[in-house]
Structure 1
Amino acid sequence: MKKRNTYALLLGIGSLLGLFHPAKTAIRPNPADDLKNIGGDFQRAIEKARK
């Protein structure tokens, strides 16, 4: 259970780091929307890992 939780956390952090990668910022006109979406996915991943 703890291992899956850590995995979800690392996945979320990896997604956020990928979001701020300079190559990707040119492709995405609105990073705020991506942040919101990733935040929601991250929340769901944590809830799933807790079950």
Structure 2
Amino acid sequence: MEKRNTYALLLGISSLLGLFHPAKTAIRPNPADDLKNIGGDFQRAIEKARK
């Protein structure tokens, strides 16, 4: 169980770091969209890790 929680946390952190990656900002110039989407990605990652 602890391993899965750590995995979900790392996935969330990596997606947050990806948000600020220059290559990603070149593809998606609107950071507001990324901020809206990242919450959903993080929630899905946590739910997937719980299963």
- Cα separation, partners in 2 of 1:48 and 1:27, compared to 1, 3 Å: closer
CA offset digits 1:1-44 (Å, max 9, x no partner): 11111101101110110110112212112121122112112123
Q: What's the counterpart of residue 4 of structure 1? A: 4
What is the aligned-residue identity percentage?
96
Equivalent pairs counted in the alignment come to: 51
Q: What is the Cα-based RMSD across aligned positions, in Å?
A: 1.6
Structure 1, unmatched stretches of 5+, are none
When normalised by structure 1's length, the TM-score is 0.74
Moved over 4 A (4+): none
Deviates more, 1:8-17 or 1:22-31: 22-31
